[in-house]
Copies of this chain bind each other. A is one copy, B any other.
C-alpha cells in the first residue's frame, strides 16, 4: 500500500487537521468528540443542517460545511459510522435555536448511531429531525444496509436542505424538502479498481484487468455484477438505464445530472461519462437543465464513477441554484 499518510490509525485525524488549517476562515474542527462546524457558526434563528458518516468519501461531508449547505459534519473512522456521542455533540453545537435536520445515509451503523445521537441531543432540549438517503438503485440490501444504500444523491439532499434553511424555512419545511429530494434522486456507480482502507492495507476486492464492477457501493462492497471492461458509452448506459427506469422518467421532465468521480478518476473521464449520460437522457426526451461533474462522494482512491439523476421542479431548481459557500462546492 502506497499512500501519502503517516500512521494509518491517525489518518483521519491528520487529514481533518490539515483540512481545518487550510480552511480556518471557513470551518472549525472539534476533537474529542470529532466534528466540524462552520467557523462563523449557524446564524441565530436558522435551522441547522448536519450530516456525517464514515470517512473516506471526501469531500463528503466536511467539505460541504459552509453557508447554504451544512452547519456541521461528523466524520467517523474510514468506512465506519461516527459514534452517537459525536452525533449528539455536533447537533448541540450546530443548533442555532431553530432546530437541526440530520441527513443520514442508509447504512445500518449510521442509522443506529444517528438515532441514539439524536435522542441524546433531544434530551438536551434540541429539536431534531432526520432524513435517511437511499438513492443507490444497484442493490436492495447489501453487506452494510437493510434497503438501498445512500450514495452520491446525498449531496443533492444536503445542498437543497441547506438552501432551504438559509432562506429561513422552519425545521418542518426543511425536513419535508429533504424528503422530497430523497424521493426524487437515484444513483448507480461503477468501479474500475478497488480502494485500500489504510488500516487494512490491501485492496477491498480483486478486479481483473479486463473487468469492471457495475453497481458498486462507496465502500468497495459488491455491486450487481462484473462485466468486461468496455467503452464509456456502454458503461454509462449500464448506469443511466436503471436510474431512469427506477425514477420512471418521462419525456419532457427536467433533471439535474450529476456525474461523480470515485476518487481516482480524472475529471477528463468524468466529462466523457457526462456527455454520454446526457445523450442517453436526451434520447429519452429528458431535459438536463442542471449539471454537476466532479469527485464529490468518493471511495478513497477508487477509480470509477457514478451517475445521479434528480427529478427537478421549480422550487428544487431554485434551491439548487441558491448561493453555496463551502470548501468543496461553491457558487
Binding site for B on A (CB under 8 A): 2-7, 11-12, 14-19, 21-23, 55-56, 58-59, 63, 192-193, 209-210, 212, 229, 231-233, 235-236, 263-276, 278, 291-293, 295, 298, 300-301, 303-305, 330-331
Report the minimal beta-carbon distance from A109 to chain B, rounded to whole angstroms: 20
B residues less than 8 Å from A212 (CB atoms): 2
Taking a contact as CB atoms under 8 Å apart, the answer to whether B266 and A264 are in contact is: yes
Query: A58 — which chain B residues lie within 8 A by C-beta?
Result: 266-268
| Nearest chain B residue, comparing its CB with the CB of A329 | B330
CB distance from A230 to the nearest CB of B (A): 9
Contact B232 A268 (CB under 8 A): no
Query: Taking the nearest CB of chain B, how far is it from the CB of A25, in angstroms?
Result: 10
In contact, A275 and B4 (Cβ under 8 angstroms): no
- B330, A272: Cβ atoms closer than 8 Å: no
Say whether B300 contacts A14, CB under 8 Å. Answer: no
- In the complex this chain forms, how many copies of it are found? 2
Residue of B nearest to A264 (CB): B264
Contact of A15 with B63 in the complex, beta carbons under 8 Å: no
Which residues from chain B contact A295 at a C-beta distance below 8 Å?
A: 295
| Contact (Cβ within 8 A) B5 A272 | yes
When the two chains form their complex, are residues B291 and A4 in contact, meaning their CB atoms are under 8 A apart? no
CA distance A272 to B13 in the complex (A): 9
Question: Which among A15, A233, A268, A331 has the highest number of chain B CB atoms within 10 Å?
Answer: A268
Taking the nearest CB of chain B, how far is it from the CB of A2, in angstroms? 4
**Are B274 and A22 neighbours in the complex by a CB distance under 8 Å?**
yes
Residues of chain B within 8 A (CB-CB) of A291 are 21-23
Q: Which 7 A-B pairs have the closest CB atoms?
A: A18-B275, A18-B271, A4-B269, A6-B231, A22-B291, A18-B274, A264-B264
Distance to closest chain B CB from A76 (angstroms): 13
Query: Chain B residues near A266 (CB, 8 Å)?
Result: 56, 58, 263-264, 298, 300-301
Distance of A36 Cα from B266 Cα, bound (Å):
19
Known: A14-B272, A263-B266. A4 touches B235 (CB 8 A): yes
How far apart are the CA atoms of A271 and B55 in the complex, in Å?
13
Tell whether A15 pairs with B231 under 8 Å between CB atoms, given A278-B21, A301-B264.
no
Contact B5–A232 (Cβ < 8 Å): yes
**Chain B nearest Cβ from A240, distance in angstroms:** 13
Given contacts A4-B270, A18-B275, 20 further A-B pairs with CB under 8 A are A2-B229, A3-B232, A3-B269, A4-B265, A4-B272, A4-B305, A5-B231, A5-B232, A6-B276, A7-B231, A14-B232, A14-B271, A15-B269, A18-B271, A18-B274, A21-B278, A22-B274, A22-B291, A22-B293, A263-B266
Q: Could you tell me if A192 and B4 are in contact, using CB atoms closer than 8 angstroms?
A: yes
The reply to whether B272 and A6 form a contact with Cβ atoms under 8 Å apart is yes
Q: B14 to A265, Cβ gap below 8 A?
A: no
23 contacts between A and B (CB under 8 A): A2-B192, A2-B303, A4-B192, A5-B231, A6-B272, A14-B232, A14-B271, A15-B268, A15-B271, A15-B272, A18-B273, A18-B276, A18-B278, A21-B278, A22-B291, A55-B268, A56-B266, A59-B267, A264-B301, A266-B301, A267-B298, A268-B300, A295-B295
